[in-house]
Amino acid sequence: MNFKNIKNWNLDIEKEITEKWKKSKQFNFNPKTKKKIYSIELDEAFYRNARKKFANNNHILILFGDSPVQLKKILPKIDKPCLFWLDAHFSGEGTAKGDIETPIMEEMILILNHSNLKHIILIDDARLFIGKNHYPSIEKVKSLVFKYHKDWLFIIKNDIIRIYSKP
């Protein structure tokens, strides 16, 4: 699967829009796409800045709050395969922290339970998944994926966990 070009995917759910995200060339994201994009922000300043930045883009919806809570609201609206870019985690000063450092397991359960659509899940900072500070181990995440989708691929490359169905 070519992860360098996501402009043709039906729906992107992006989290934690920051300047780093805007400047990232990793996925060649085209901000002029008219595909529906959701971003969930826990930090109020990030939320306000993102709302202001994308105010003229009706296809980009910036939501404020805890990502699992917002995902529960978004998922029933999804009827096509989409990309989930999961990076809701506390990264130190200047970032928001919810009840735990990362809600990744709850997010994964919600997404993996969602219909039979062949979503693509990308999780950044794979190096942090060592079983500390609410980060599950890589094996725990992999086991969760295979519990729901035995035939999906689970690949780690460039510090990103890539989860998707076999082509």
Residue 152 lies in a domain: yes
Inter-CA distances, 45 with 18, 24, 65, 110, 131, Å: 11, 20, 12, 26, 30
Gap between the Cα atoms of 62 and 38, Å rounded = 6
Residue 139 lies in a domain: yes
Domain around 152: 78-90+101-167
pLDDT of residue 43: 83
What total of structural domains would you count in the chain? 1
Q: What is the pLDDT along the chain (167 residues), one digit of tens a residue?
A: 555 554 444 444 444 344 444 444 444 455 566 678 888 888 888 889 888 888 888 888 899 998 899 999 999 988 888 889 888 665 556 555 556 678 899 999 999 999 778 889 999 889 989 998 888 999 999 999 999 999 999 999 989 999 998 87
